[in-house]
Structure 1
Amino acid sequence: MPHLSSTATGVAQTDVAVGFGVPGFAHPLLAPTEWAELTRPDTPLHWVVLNIDNGPGDRPDPHCLDAAGRLRNAGVRVLGQLDVTYGARGFGELVSDAHRYLDWYLVDGFFLGRCPTERTALPEVARTVTTLRALLRDGSDDGHIVFGHGTHPHPGYADTADQLVTFAGPWSDYRWSQAAEWTADHPPERFCHLVHGMPGGHLDEALRVARWQGASTIYFTDRTDTGPAGDPWESLPGYWDEIVSRVGPGVSE
């Protein structure tokens, strides 16, 4: 996945509340341990993505409803995944999916997967987000919106979402990646990095990369995207307990 070759933010953050953005597990019947683990007290979770079938699915799923309910009862923000397909999906389809997520699972916001990055797509994405926030505002607030770019987009996207995923890819790329210069104009709370294929022995190095580039929401896993499903996020990393202890409450990054 391409990354902009620009100078890193260059200033290590010492007072940033680092936590996890979980990009979604397998179905709760297939990954019951994973979903249960997310409700463990003092796990520093910023949000968890609920993705039933690359979206909300065709009908309510009681197992997903139970998993989402347990997370929300534990004070964890649950986001419904909307597949933007790099701008190919229409406004009506996305809003319809959003309605189903809200009606069936009472989500707290949305993760816009495969979000476009170019400036020309920004007006349509902004239009969609305006509608999503209006739908969410029928609840307690206007929710939380994350753009799943996976790389650095045009800087205008930072004015529309609460957070941008500016890296999603393998550790072999992440360890040499750099942040776009414009990210230095925003606090670390605005950025998220999702890294797969990362051996446990590199946790300290990976946390330094995230800190140096100014991202306070992270998810690191040793899983890869070469399995049968091609999805490295479907299960917990083998070093989950260790990384929770590294970034948990009271731990300064």
Structure 2
Amino acid sequence: MTEAPAEERRLLVPLYAHPATHPEAWAQLQAVAPLLYGVVLNAADGPGHRPDPAFTEAAGRLRRAGVRLLGYTDTGYGRRRPRAVAADIRRHRRWYDVDGVFLDQVPSGAAVLPHYRRLVLIARTLGARTVALNPGTHPDPGYARLADLLVTFEGSWAEYRRAGVPPWTADHPPGRFCHLVYAVPDDCAEHVARTAERRGAGVHCAVPGDGANPWQSAPLTTGAVR
């Protein structure tokens, strides 16, 4: 298996499933490793209170396959204290040797930009080489200047088909934006990829899952692994 060029590593996978109960999904991630921008590691709505051996093993396998790992950290839409966010980042780094962080529950308004500027600085100081922010919608343009990757859509395939893109996104390279789409029919993976590309998002994920936690499966892919 040869590694795909960096520009083709465009799948960011938030796999919110335990390796012991969903081993097939984790195995599928290894199979498509050359196509992955990264995997969001989420042991317990964050790193949890102690290391989980199953996640340690799964993270190690992905790391050996060359996959970037981002530790899931809830920011509570700006309400969570920086000290608590920093503690989660430290645990992710110490327990699972992640490469970066995925800051979730990010608001879209400009008023809390200073707070998130501080969180991103904390993450980088603690060793995060990649920082992703997830407002799940197009936020104030200032957020695009903070993170390496900005999730500007998270929702269902039906919602994605109707979504729009504000003009300011054209001022940034596609590799800075990510679209996360769930409830995608098996035969629509290519459609999602083309739509993301057309809307200026160089990174995406399409999964078939739905419900309270749709992120329990490996992504739908558009072709054979190189």
TM-score normalised over the length of structure 2: 0.92
1:123 aligns with 2:114: yes
Work out which of the residue numbers 172, 178, 182 in structure 1 matches 2:168: 182
Matched with 1:56 is 47
Matched with 2:129 is 143
CA deviations over 1:113-153 (Å, ceiling 9, x no partner): 111211111101110110110111xxxxx510110111001
Matched with 2:104 is 113
3-state DSSP class of the match of 1:57?
coil
Matched with 1:35 is 26
1:103 aligns with 2:81: no
Q: Which amino acid aligns with 1:88?
A: R
Matched with 2:183 is 197
1:170 aligns with 2:156: yes
CA distance, structure 1, for counterparts of residue 107 and residue 180 of structure 2: 17
Is contact 2:33-2:65 (8 Å) kept? no
Is contact 1:25-1:35 (8 Å) kept? no
1:231 aligns with 2:213: yes
TM-score normalised over the length of structure 1: 0.83
CA distance, structure 2, for counterparts of residue 232 and residue 50 of structure 1: 15
CA distance, structure 1, for counterparts of residue 63 and residue 7 of structure 2: 24
CA distance, structure 1, for counterparts of residue 9 and residue 123 of structure 2: 26
Once the two structures are TM-superposed, the CA of residue 244 in structure 1 deviates from its matched residue by: 4.5
CA distance, structure 1, for counterparts of residue 179 and residue 198 of structure 2: 12
Q: Which moved more, 1:179-188 or 1:198-207?
A: 198-207
1:86 aligns with 2:64: no
Once the two structures are TM-superposed, the CA of residue 88 in structure 1 deviates from its matched residue by: 1.3
Q: Alpha carbons of 1:41 and 1:50: their partners in 2 closer, same or farther (altered >3 Å)?
A: closer
Matched with 1:216 is 202
CA distance, structure 1, for counterparts of residue 13 and residue 82 of structure 2: 26
Is contact 1:23-1:49 (8 Å) kept? yes
CA deviations over 1:196-246 (Å, ceiling 9, x no partner): 111123333322211110111111112112xxxx10011235xx3xx2516
Once the two structures are TM-superposed, the CA of residue 46 in structure 1 deviates from its matched residue by: 0.3
Matched with 2:64 is 73
Q: Which moved more, 1:203-212 or 1:185-194?
A: 203-212
Once the two structures are TM-superposed, the CA of residue 41 in structure 1 deviates from its matched residue by: 5.8
CA deviations over 1:53-95 (Å, ceiling 9, x no partner): 1010010111100111111111100000000111111111000
3-state DSSP class of the match of 1:169?
strand
CA distance, structure 2, for counterparts of residue 152 and residue 88 of structure 1: 20
| Structure 1 unpaired stretches of 5+ | 1-14, 137-141
CA distance, structure 2, for counterparts of residue 55 and residue 204 of structure 1: 31
| Structure 2 unpaired stretches of 5+ | 1-5
Q: Which amino acid aligns with 2:72?
A: Q
Name the one with the larger helix percent.
Answer: 2
CA distance, structure 2, for counterparts of residue 222 and residue 134 of structure 1: 36
Work out which of the residue numbers 123, 138, 141 in structure 2 matches 1:155: 141
CA deviations over 1:103-122 (Å, ceiling 9, x no partner): 11111000011112111111
CA distance, structure 1, for counterparts of residue 61 and residue 222 of structure 2: 19
Once the two structures are TM-superposed, the CA of residue 16 in structure 1 deviates from its matched residue by: 5.0
CA distance, structure 1, for counterparts of residue 103 and residue 112 of structure 2: 13
Is contact 1:43-1:244 (8 Å) kept? no
